[in-house]
């Protein structure tokens, strides 16, 4: 069969690579892909943008694609799955109505409250019904969120009332475009942040291996928030007890609630949670897709056929399959261009990829994100450029391998964190 992967990041390189590993898959098209997917055996980049839904439908029809997997949230929230379905094409991901779980925080807060799923107390305002006096009566800090998609930048933690007022004001003034037309103001929660990723088929759920990312740019979890500077799997802090609670109190009622509301959820679902001291898993956010970079270590451990799992989900048969995982741990270190998460320079030549690939044989892989191929050379082409994943008997040994791969790679001003996995590694050292 022929598979199409939509997107251009590290997550999509990992998705394409896993699909290409299936004996049943002849070819994987990637739209638009990166240098990594261009060089990957059995994969072929197609110059169609991830947001160009009519062109993606045309491509899938023309090429006889039997399964499409959508990487990023943009096309999902814009209705790519609905468009494929209308054309009679199989596409794994949530339809537009279900993708509102990521596309509209206002929708999600209302959904969570209606279905009794734990989350921070909140109110949603539009410019018309905004009530500044309500803000004054709330305890600080307050969390101010632009409701729509804001590339991970639309959340402001306000320590003072002035900051809170200013944040709401900026959102209504258009700082995040349409995303800020509705503003969610919510209580600040304390606890441990945990992410949890599953596959769903509208009714059943298959949890993926646990994982944890590092969102801050600099060592010691300092510096600006990013899409993620590294991730590892498994995440030891997700104990079997916590796993069971998240499934029972968050994932199952979410899938059941969406089905009951007439908008069943099929696709990957990513829950960002704040686990309170008493163990309550409060939902901070949902993403209607896999995490990036979590996908790179998670799929590095997947032993089952990803295309088969996606097909089972599209047939509503996820309850009849299981996923097998490599018992080793996997850890990925993101190599970013200088300046990330702000504006970065592009077009630097990346050295050492062959040496890294030789070192990685059987125990890791370097995934591409912001890269492009020019005259046979791999050049930087984005903020997050590569993700070097190592496998090992423990998170510590996986980290040693990952950093050995990092050591082989070079371009001017590349930056990366030296402490990915530090909490899990400290936990391992404590035994």
Footprint of ligand GLY on this chain (CB under 6 A)?
A: 213, 227-228, 287, 291-292, 294
> According to the binding rule CB under 6 A, does residue 285 interact with ligand AMP?
yes
Please, what is the minimum distance in Å from the beta carbon of residue 270 to ligand GLY?
A: 7
368: left (phi over 0), alpha (psi -120 to 50) or beta: beta
Structure tokens at 232: 């590892």
Strand order through the sheet with 43-45? 43-45, 27-32, 2-7, 67-70, 91-92
352 binds ligand AMP (CB under 6 A): no
For the window 153-192, what string marks contact with ligand AMP as x by the rule CB under 6 A?
--x------------------------------x-xx---
Please give the size of the binding site for ligand AMP, defined by CB under 6 A.
Answer: 12
230, 420 contact by CB (below 8 A): yes
Cα distances (angstroms) measured from residue 400 to each of 241, 275, 393, 421: 29, 29, 11, 11
The one of ligand GLY, ligand AMP, none whose footprint includes residue 311, by CB under 5 to 8 A per kind, is none
Rounded Cα distance between 379 and 372, Å, is 5
Residues 6 or more apart in contact with residue 115 via CB below 8 angstroms: 253, 254, 256, 257
Residue 213 makes contact with ligand AMP by CB under 6 A? no
7 binds, among ligand AMP, ligand GLY, none (CB under 5 to 8 A by kind): none
Residue 217 Rama label (left phi>0; alpha psi -120 to 50; beta): alpha
Report what 40 binds from ligand GLY, ligand AMP, none; CB cut-off 5-8 Å by kind: none
Contact assessment for residue 404 and residue 359, using Cβ atoms and an 8 Å cutoff:
yes
Quick check: helix, strand or coil at residue 93? coil
Nearest-approach distance from CB 294 to ligand GLY, in angstroms: 6
Closer to ligand GLY by Cβ: residue 152 or 236: 152
Q: Which of 98, 143, 337, 424 is close enough to bind ligand AMP by CB under 6 A?
A: 143
Nearest-CB residue to ligand GLY? Answer: 228
Query: Residues 95-134 vs ligand AMP: string with x where CB under 6 A?
Result: -------------------------x--------------
Write the Ramachandran bin of 152: left for phi over 0, alpha for psi from -120 to 50, otherwise beta. Answer: left
Q: Does 144 bind ligand AMP (CB under 6 A)?
A: no
């Amino acid at each position: 069969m022929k598979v199409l992967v939509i997107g251009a990041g590290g997550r999509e390189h990992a998705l394409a690579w896993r699909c290409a590993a299936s004996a049943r898959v002849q070819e994987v098209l990637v739209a638009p892909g990166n240098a990594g997917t261009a060089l990957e055996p059995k994969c072929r980049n197609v110059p169609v943008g991830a947001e160009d839904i009519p062109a993606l439908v045309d491509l899938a029809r023309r090429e006889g694609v039997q399964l499409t997997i959508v990487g990023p949230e943009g096309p999902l929230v814009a209705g790519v799955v609905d468009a494929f379905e209308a054309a009679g094409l199989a596409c794994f991901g949530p339809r537009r109505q279900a993708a509102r779980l990521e596309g509209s925080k206002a929708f999600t807060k209302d959904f969570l409250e209606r279905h009794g799923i734990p989350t921070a107390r909140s109110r949603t305002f539009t410019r018309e019904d905004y009530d500044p006096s309500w803000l004054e009566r709330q305890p600080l800090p307050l969390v101010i969120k632009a409701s729509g998609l804001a590339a991970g930048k639309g959340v402001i933690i306000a320590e003072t009332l002035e900051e809170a007022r200013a944040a709401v004001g900026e959102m209504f003034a258009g700082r995040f475009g349409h995303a800020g037309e509705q503003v969610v103001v919510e209580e600040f929660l304390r606890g441990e942040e945990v992410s949890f990723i599953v596959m769903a088929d509208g009714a059943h759920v298959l949890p993926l291996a646990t994982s944890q990312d590092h969102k801050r740019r600099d060592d010691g979890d300092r510096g600006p928030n990013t899409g993620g500077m590294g991730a590892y799997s498994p995440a030891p802090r997700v104990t079997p007890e916590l796993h069971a609670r998240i499934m029972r109190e968050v994932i199952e009622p979410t899938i059941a609630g969406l089905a009951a509301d007439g908008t069943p959820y099929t696709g990957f679902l990513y829950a960002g949670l704040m686990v309170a001291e008493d163990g309550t898993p409060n939902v901070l956010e949902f993403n209607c897709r896999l995490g990036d970079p979590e996908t790179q270590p998670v799929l590095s451990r997947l032993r089952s056929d990803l295309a088969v799992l996606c097909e089972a989900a599209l047939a509503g048969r996820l309850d009849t399959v299981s996923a097998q995982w490599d018992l080793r741990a996997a850890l990925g270190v993101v190599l970013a261009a200088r300046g990330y998460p702000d504006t970065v320079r592009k077009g630097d030549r990346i050295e050492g990829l062959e040496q890294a690939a030789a070192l990685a044989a059987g125990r890791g892989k370097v995934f591409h994100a912001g890269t492009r191929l020019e005259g046979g050379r791999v050049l930087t082409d984005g903020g997050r450029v590569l993700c070097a994943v190592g496998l090992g008997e423990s998170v510590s040994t996986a980290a040693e391998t990952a950093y050995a791969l990092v050591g082989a790679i070079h371009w001017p001003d590349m930056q990366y964190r030296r402490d990915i996995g530090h909490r899990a590694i400290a936990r391992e050292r404590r035994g």
